Amino acid sequence: MDLIVQKFGGTSLSDENSRRHVLRHIVRENEAGSRLVVVVSAMGRSGEPYATDSLLELIRTNGNALPAREKDLLLSCGELISATLLCSILQAEGIPSVVLTGGQAGIITDNRFGSARITEIKTERIHKLISDGFVVIVTGFQGMTPDGEMTTLGRGGSDTSATALGAALNADIVDIYTDVDGILTADPRWVSDARPLSTVSYEEICNMAQNGAKVIHPRAVEIAMKASIPVRVRSTFSEGEGTLVTNAHALRSQGIWFDKTVTGLAHVRGVTQLGVTNNNGPSDVQLRVFRAMATHGISVDFINVMPSGVVYTVSETDTSLAMELLQGLGFEPNVRRGCAKVSVIGGGMNGEPGVMAVIVEALTNSGIPILQSADSNTTIWVLLSEEDLAEALQALHTAFGLHLTPN
Ligand code: ADP
Ligand code: ASP
Ligand code: MG
C-alpha cells in the first residue's frame, strides 16, 4: 500500500469550488488504497479572510506590535481553519479523517519564531492513525519546540512540512498541488507562453526556487533531495501529471537525459543596487562595507569588488538601513532602487559556449540595459530595471526557445 503525502496550497483551498477539486484528489487516492497524509496551507491569498497575509493585516493598525512568539500563534490559526474545514468535508463524504497540528503530528522545531527549522519528526502518532484507516490532515507551515511552543517555518513553509513529513514517513511520493500545471519554464504570471516541464532534477528546481520561482519552497526541495523522496508538482484543478522532481540519476536510468542548456527562468523583484566609490586611494573600503552589512544581518548579492570601489545589491526592505550604515561610515552611496534580478538556469550550461551571447543579444534587441551580471556553473544572473522585467523575461524565454521546450 502506497503512502502518499498530498499538500494543498492556499489557492487550492480558497473557495467551495476549489475545495471540491481537493476532495476529488483525496478520494481518488483513497479509493486506490493509498495511505494518505494531507498537508494544508491557510485558505486563499492576501485579502481573503483567513489567508496568512490577512491574519498579518489584523495587527498592522497596531504597528505590527506583537512579540514573535505570539505572532506565530496568530499565524498558525490560518492552517488550523483550513485543516478543520477539510476534515468536515471529508467527514461529510464518509471518509474517516483526523486533524493534527504540526506539534501533534510530531514536527519538532528549534525556537526561531517566524522561521523555525525542523529538528525532528516523531512519526508514531501519524503511523498509528494511518494504519487505523484515517486520512491524516496536518496543518502545514508549523511545528512545536521541545517545550511546547508553537512555531512557524517561514513564508511558503507548508511545502517544507510536506516534504519533511514525506521524508520522515518514507513516503512513496509527495504531491504538491497548486494552481498551475507543474513547474513551468518561467512564472506564467509574467510569461504567457511558459510551458510545464515533465521532469526536473532536485538541483534544477532548487536553483529556480532559490532564485525566486515560488512554486515550491527551496528548503522543501532540499529535504526531499536529501531523503531521495520523489516530489510531483501538479495542478489541483486538473488530472495532469504535473512535473516530477527527482534525482538526475533516476531520470537518466529511465533514459531521460535532461541536462538542458537552459531549463527555465526565475526572477526576484524589489532589489536595490548600491555603489560605493573609493575616493581616498587605497583603503579598507570593501572590508568596512561588507562587515557593516554582515553585522546588521543584511544579505548582499551581485557583489562586484573593484579597485575603484564596490557595487552590490540588497533587498528593497534592507535599503534604508544599508544606506544609513554606509552614510555612517562616511560614504555617499549611489542608490538605484526598483531593480529586478533575472536568473537563466540550466544544468547543462556549464562549458556550453554562447549562453551569455544569447542573453545579451535578446536584451539588447529589446533595448533593455543590463545593470550587472554574474554567473555560476548552472546559472547566469542579470540585474535589470523592474520596468523592463516583463519584456526581458519574454525576450529571454523566446530567445532560448523555451516556449518550444519538448517535455
Ligand atoms: P500555493 O498557494 O499552491 O503554495 P504559490 O503561490 O506559493 O501557491 O505557488 C504557485 C505560484 O508560483 C503560481 O501561481 C505561479 O505564479 C508561481 N510561479 C513562479 N514561478 C513558477 C514556475 N517556474 N512554474 C510554476 N509556477 C511558478
Ligand atoms: N500559509 C503560509 C504562507 O502563506 C504557508 C504556505 O502557504 O505555505 O506563507
Ligand atoms: Mg506556496
Among 43-57, 171-185, 280-294, 387-401, which is the least confidently predicted range? 280-294
In short, whether 155's Cβ falls inside 6 Å of ligand 2 is yes
Q: Are 250 and 378 in contact (CB under 8 A)?
A: no
The answer to whether 312 and 274 are in contact (CB under 8 A) is yes
Name residues with Cβ closer than 5 Å to ligand 3, which is an ion: 9, 156
For CATH 3.40.1160.10, the residue range(s) in the chain are 3-253
Name the CA radius of gyration of the chain, rounded: 23
Q: Using one digit for the tens of pLDDT, what is the confidence trace for 89-110?
A: 999 999 999 999 999 999 999 9
Q: What ligand is nearest to the CA atom of residue 242?
A: 1
One-letter amino acid at 84 equals T
Q: From 2, 405, 14, select the one nearest 178 (Cα to Cα).
A: 14
What is the Cα–Cα distance from 231 to 217, expressed in whole angstroms?
12
Mutate to test the pocket of ligand 1, among 180, 184, 185, 191 (most ligand atoms within 8 A of CB): 180
Tell which wins on pLDDT, 116 or 252: 116
pLDDT of residue 137: 98
Is the CB–ligand 2 distance for residue 225 below 6 Å? Answer: no
Q: Which protein residue's CA is at the shortest distance from atom 6 of ligand 2? A: 156
What predicted TM-score, i.e. pTM, was given to this entire model?
0.93
CA-CA distances (angstroms) from residue 188 to 182, 194, 196, 216, 364? 11, 6, 10, 14, 23
CA of 132 to the centre of ligand 3 (A): 30
Nearest alpha carbon to residue 237 among 26, 46, 24: 24
Percent of the chain exceeding pLDDT 90 equals 85
Q: What is 264-400's CATH number, 3.30.470.20, 3.40.50.740, 3.30.2130.10, 3.40.50.2300?
A: 3.30.2130.10
* Residue 73 φ then ψ, to 5°: -65, -45
Report the binding-site residues for substrate: 52, 79
Taking residues 240-268, what's their average pLDDT?
82
The atom number, within ligand 1, closest to the CA of 10 reads 2
Q: Where in the chain is the domain with CATH 3.30.2130.10?
A: 264-400
CA–centroid distance, residue 217 to ligand 1 (Å): 10
From the CA of 216, how far away is ligand 3's center (Å)? 6
Residue 260: the pLDDT is 75
| 140 touches ligand 2 (CB under 6 Å) | yes
Residue-wise pLDDT tens digits, 37-59:
999 999 999 899 999 999 999 99
Q: What angle do CA 74, 44, 60 make, to 5 degrees?
A: 40
Per the prediction, the chain carries an average pLDDT of: 94
CA-161 nearest atom, ligand 2 = 8
Pocket lining: 152 vs ligand 2, CB cutoff 6 Å? no
Residue identifier of the C-alpha nearest atom 17 of ligand 1: 215
Provide the β-strand partners of residue 107.
121
Give me the pLDDT at residue 348, please: 81
Which residue of 12, 214, 217, 344 sits with most ligand 1 atoms within 8 Å of its CB, as the best mutation to test the pocket?
A: 214
The ligand 2 atom at the shortest distance from the C-alpha of residue 154 is 9
Distance CA 31, CA 231 (A): 21
For ligand 2, atom 5, which residue shows the shortest CA distance?
A: 156
Residue with cell 516556449: 403
Of the listed ligands, the closest to the CA of 160 is 2
For ligand 2, what atom is nearest to the CA of residue 78? 1
Give the CATH architecture of domain 3-253.
3-Layer(aba) Sandwich (3.40)
Query: With 60 as the cut, is the pLDDT of residue 8 above it?
Result: yes
Ligand 1 neighbours, Cβ below 6 Å, are 9-12, 41, 156, 178-180, 183-184, 186-189, 208, 213-215, 264
